[in-house]
Amino acid sequence: MLYLLVVVFLCTYSAFASPVGAPSKRDNESADSTSITVAAWITQPIDHFGANNGTWKQQYLVNAEHYRPGGPIYILTPGESEVSPMYTEATHFVSLASQTNGLIVAIEHRFFGNSNPMPDLSGASLKYLTLENTLEDFAQFIRVAKSAPSSLFQVAIENNATVVFVGGSYGGALAAWMRAKYPDLVAAAWASSAPVFSYVDFYQLDQAMGRHLNARGCGGSFAQAVKELDDILLSNNSSAIDNVKSMFSINGATALDIVGGITTAITRTVNLPVMVNGDQMDNSICAFFENPVPPLTAYAMAVSAAMSGYNMPQTIRPHIDYARYRRDTSLSSEGDISVNQPYRSWYYISCTWFTDWQVAPPKSLNLIAYRSRLIDRNFWQGGCQSNFGPGVQSPTDVTSHNDVWFGMLKGASKIYYTVGELDPWRDATVAPESGTLLANTTESPIFVIGGATHTQDMQPDTIYDLESVTMAKQMGDTFIKQWLQ
């Protein structure tokens, strides 16, 4: 998905007595001294469905630079990251807002950033982190925006303004679900690289990464290096294991933590955009395999580059702290449950919603693996119950999840779906490698962006955009404008 490395600050929780939708005293604070974005807060129920009557403050940002009376409201969410002016000032939707006199709003997802409904991230608190509650947060914001916009915005917004939900990756999935679930509130949606179809074992991501590596000419050597590392770590040969630890600048880590950190660092690079001046897969991975060195040495060099800026071994898992949230059984729901842990919240979502555990393909399929076979379903879901309590079902019922949430999209209109041809998350979208999971119609068109990776059409417009990316953006603009009418 579109992961952003963020610093999340501790937010003190308290029960607010103000009515739902009323602005807090922190409303209308500027996001920073030079930003055109304004930060504000809305009061939300902890549970929209009655299990907890308390309230909390949800943060949102507003960019009204291009708004003119009668213009639409574009809403997006960072999803699993904290909200920042990047989302209101540095996406393609700023261009779309300028064309349509639109207002841009970025709303922080519950249990991420400063938007914490509960004082901690225990299993008892995170039970309110449901997809239903998440979508209802956004729906409640829209209801207030339509009925009492002056309570949310500094600028004068007309009542019952048209709302378009937009976003990329997990945020794109939320955009699609908002249009499907609340068609009376959301007039249209743009869902970029949206993973809306889930798998327990998502080996397809590994295969998509392999296709990209092979397209750049280093897939075979890369897969060989991955297999060699697995063989060494499983060999019980202490000398060989110490040698690869030295090669990868790792000390004091378990075999699982080694391959977990390495796999995560490398996987992040395949989301990098492909531009007219180059495919960043070349510089980040394949360039190392062009050197006259053994594949495992080249692999170590690529990993070192991917982890640049991180201090190993403490941050050998730079993206997700596997040892704390996946493997360490001493960390139970009574362990470290402080709110400043975005990946604990994301892990809970994975454990309870859609899993999509990133694994190598099963050996029975006779497919080449581009990630360690040591990382299996048990590695990922092994800590679900120890972290969040026995109430977490294991394995997650992905079939029921798809029946409800993917099933909801089958009858939804006015959703523009995009996905990059080389997107590693492509098989979780409506347009996997094998075709499309939904009908491609003018009411919900699907566009596969040739040569692109993850959420490239969501990025700001530049002279380095691929022609296919520019076309995807132009098509999306056209559809949204039509649907606004």
Rounded to an integer, the average pLDDT of 6-13 is 22
- C-alpha 66/C-alpha 95 separation (Å) is 9
Going 315 to 317 to 323 to 325, the CA torsion angle's sign is positive
> How does pLDDT run across 55-69, given as a tens digit for each residue?
999 999 999 999 999
Q: At 430, give phi and psi (nearest 5°).
A: -75, -5
- C-alpha 354/C-alpha 396 separation (Å) is 7
pLDDT at 79: 95
pLDDT at 26: 42
Helix (H) or strand (E) run with residue 279 in it: strand 278-279
Report the 10 Å Cβ neighbour count for 439: 11
Q: How confident is the model at residue 266 (pLDDT cuts 50, 70, 90)?
A: confident
How far is CA 102 from each of CA 93, 122, 416, 482, rounded to the nearest angstrom? 9, 39, 18, 15
pLDDT at 380: 86
> How does pLDDT run across 424-480, given as a tens digit for each residue?
999 999 999 999 999 999 999 999 999 999 999 999 999 999 999 999 999 999 999
Burial profile 68-93: b = 16 or more Cβ within 10 angstroms, e = fewer: eeebbbbbbbbbbbbbbbebbbebbb
Report the 10 Å Cβ neighbour count for 305: 16
- Is 60 exceeded by the pLDDT of residue 320? no
Lowest-confidence region among 136-140, 284-288, 327-331, 394-398 = 327-331
Q: How confident is the model at residue 23 (pLDDT cuts 50, 70, 90)?
A: very low
Q: How confident is the model at residue 165 (pLDDT cuts 50, 70, 90)?
A: very high
Parallel, antiparallel or unpaired: strands 188-192 and 163-168? parallel
Report the 10 Å Cβ neighbour count for 243: 13
- Is 70 exceeded by the pLDDT of residue 384? yes
Rounded to an integer, the average pLDDT of 247-262 is 78
pLDDT at 340: 79
Architecture of domain 29-198+403-484: 3-Layer(aba) Sandwich (3.40)
Which is nearest to 115 in space by CA: 149, 84, 148?
84
Preceding omega of 395 cis (within 30 degrees of 0): yes
* Tokens matching residue 19: 């009515």
Report the 10 Å Cβ neighbour count for 10: 10
Helix, strand or coil, per DSSP, at residue 448: strand
| Residue with token string 């417009």 | 461
Q: Return the percentage of the chain with pLDDT > 70, whole number.
A: 87
pLDDT at 308: 67
pLDDT at 252: 67
> How does pLDDT run across 188-240, given as a tens digit for each residue?
999 999 999 999 999 999 999 999 999 999 999 999 999 999 999 999 999 99
Cβ(9)–Cβ(115) below 8 Å: no
The more confidently predicted of residues 307 and 300 is: 300
Q: How confident is the model at residue 270 (pLDDT cuts 50, 70, 90)?
A: confident
Residues forming CATH 3.40.50.1820 domain(s) in the chain: 29-198+403-484
Helix (H) or strand (E) run with residue 124 in it: helix 123-126
Distance between the two ends of the chain, CA-based, in angstroms?
32
- C-alpha 218/C-alpha 112 separation (Å) is 37
* Tokens matching residue 439: 């009908």
**Mean pLDDT of all residues in the chain?**
86
Please count the CA atoms within 13 angstroms of the CA of 65 that sit on its side-chain side: 17
Q: At 261, give phi and psi (nearest 5°).
A: -65, -40
Q: How confident is the model at residue 251 (pLDDT cuts 50, 70, 90)?
A: low
- C-alpha 194/C-alpha 12 separation (Å) is 32
Helix (H) or strand (E) run with residue 173 in it: helix 170-181
Parallel, antiparallel or unpaired: strands 274-275 and 278-279? antiparallel
| Residue with token string 């490239």 | 456
- Is 90 exceeded by the pLDDT of residue 330? no
